[in-house]
Structure 1
Amino acid sequence: MALLLKLCSTRSCRSFRARTTVLNLYLRRSLSIGNDKFERWNFRNRTTIYYTSSVIFLVSGLSYAAVPLYRIFCSQSGLGGQATLLGDNDPSKKVAEMNVVPHREIKVNFQADTASGMKWSFRPQQSAVYVRPGETALAFYSAKNPYDEPIDGIATYNVLPFEAGKYFNKIQCFCFEEQRLNPNEEVDMPVFFYIDPDYAEDPGLENINDITLSYTFFQSKPGFKLPIPRTG
């Protein structure tokens, strides 16, 4: 009887040890799998965060750069209703060689707007002027910073109808570079322009004697500069 109890006890101990060993192995394996899953989950989350942050940074950069890049492209190509800029270093030569078209008069309307977040007040000083193709004209806009801090701005412009944009030439314009207004400062901004005589020869513009020049000011970062777009 004692021998049987001893054998049973020995077998129970062995069985207990075996079960304990198996349980330990199971727990280690489970913990290992759990750690692997956690590491993979953590890696995916870090990757997602890095990717999302990169996309946000890229989109923000492109959004900021879109305005000046679009303006430069349209100014050089005359597409999108953007006025064309003179390519000569001396614009007076181009102007002196132009012939005025006496029988055609164009009404140029002026509009002003500010983008969301821009704190300036901005308006044209005249609602419209009349000009003949080949004739120069001067107009003014007014801008005011009503706040107690300096604010930098940069303008985009557009000409409607779009087909007229390639004939609308600017000799001098405040949209060429960044503008800074000090606290409570108000300035007059000139636009010196002409409509190319070829406007009168374009059959698509035969019945269009009314065009609109529109400016929109965006707030910009201090020190931001743009190359002056040129054609030629």
Structure 2
Amino acid sequence: MFKPVVIVIQRLCQSARTPLVQRPCMKCTTFRRNFSQQQQQQSAQRKRIKSSLYYLTAAGIVTAGMSYAAVPLYRMFCQSYSYGGTTASGHDTSKIETMQPNKSRPIKIRFNADKASNMRWNFQPQQNEITVYPGETALAFYTALNPTAQTVIGISTYNVVPFEAGQYFNKIQCFCFEEQMLNPHEQVDMPVFFYIDPEFNEDPYLENCNEITLSYTFFEAKEGLQLPIPQFAATK
């Protein structure tokens, strides 16, 4: 009679000695999950910021390098492709010695001089025009004067009009793309030694072209100067 009661009491005592299993707190679990996600987001954001800074720094270095390299790069590109009427480089010296002038087609070469608005020099051609023949060398001069009481360094670009004639206009000696320093009130004569390639006569696009304009534009050379693509200036 008392045995079942004893068994019940023993089980109750065993239950009392068994430690309770603690269930996890839902609020704590959610907090830890949110905190971990925030840490991951902040870490990813810091990586993106570092990457952006690296890209901006690299872009700044490349831009600075390009500003210093603008003149030689522009010179190589234009002279390689006769872009915008720039004259071709890499003339054949042996061709100069053996070519014969074509006296049946005189070509009038006009000379133009311009300068940037902040350029303090006086710059002009010594001759307005000369007549040459394809296959004949010619020499012309420009004059630059520094009327100020300060030393001024200039640099020039040039082009040829019509643009199609640029590939046949070969310079032997030229003052373009090179820095020219003039002391206060100094004047200098700058030569242009050139020839028109005899193949000029064989180009159908230039069949009716009997006049070419050579135009120079001077800029004051300063750090970071980027020379613009030369545009034709009105013939004087």
Pair in the same fold by TM > 0.5: yes
Say if 2:158 and 2:215, in contact at 8 Å, map to a contact too. Answer: yes
Instruction: Provide the C-alpha distance between the structure 1 equivalents of 2:90 and 2:55, rounded to a whole number of angstroms.
Output: 44
Residue number in structure 1 paired with 2:213: 212
One of 85, 90, 101 as aligned partner of 1:86: 90
| AA partner of residue 193 (structure 1) | F
Instruction: Give the structure 1 partner of residue 125 of structure 2.
Output: 124
Contact residue 111 and residue 213 of structure 2 kept, 8 A: yes
Counterpart residue type for residue 94 of structure 1: K
Which residue does the alignment assign to 1:146? 147
Partners of 1:179 and 1:94 lie apart in 2 by 30
Shift of 1:94: 2.5
Q: Does 1:72 align with 2:76?
A: yes
Work out the CA distance in 2 between the residues paired with 1:156 and 1:63: 16
Residue 102 (structure 1) aligns with = 103
- Cα 1:48–1:147 change in 2 (3 A) is farther
Distance 1:114 1:105, change over 3 A: same
Code of the residue aligned with 1:180 in structure 2: it is: M
Counterpart-to-counterpart distance in 2, 1:129 and 1:138: 9
Pair 144,68 (structure 1): closer, same or farther in 2 beyond 3 Å = farther
Letter in 1 for 2:77: F
SS of aligned partner of 1:154: strand
Shift of 1:67: 4.1
Whether the 8 Å CA contact 2:71–2:177 is kept in 1: the answer is no
Amino acid at match of 1:66: A
Structure 1 moving runs of 4+ over 3 Å: 47-68
**1:155-177: CA deviation from partner (whole Å, max 9, x where unpaired):** 11101111000000001111252
Aligned length in residues? 200
Q: Please provide the CA RMSD for this pair.
A: 3.6
Q: TM-score, normalised by structure 1?
A: 0.67
What's the offset of the Cα at 1:118?
A: 1.9
- Written as runs of structure 1 = structure 2, the 5 A alignment for 1:43-54 is none
Give the drift of 1:154.
1.4
- Kindly state the Cα deviation for residue 64 of structure 1 after the two structures are TM-superposed: 5.7
Query: 1:191, CA displacement in angstroms?
Result: 0.4
Judged with a 3 Å threshold, the aligned counterparts in structure 2 of structure 1 residues 48 and 149 are, in CA distance, closer, same or farther, namely farther
Q: Deviations over 1:102-160 (max 9, x none)?
A: 11111111111112322211111111111110011111100011111211111111011
Larger Rg: 2
Given that 2:122 and 2:147 are in contact with CA atoms closer than 8 Å, whether structure 1 keeps it comes out as yes
Query: 1:22 maps to what in 2?
Result: none
Question: 5+ residue gaps in structure 1?
Answer: 1-46, 225-232
Percent identity, aligned pairs only, is 58
SS of 2:217's equivalent? strand
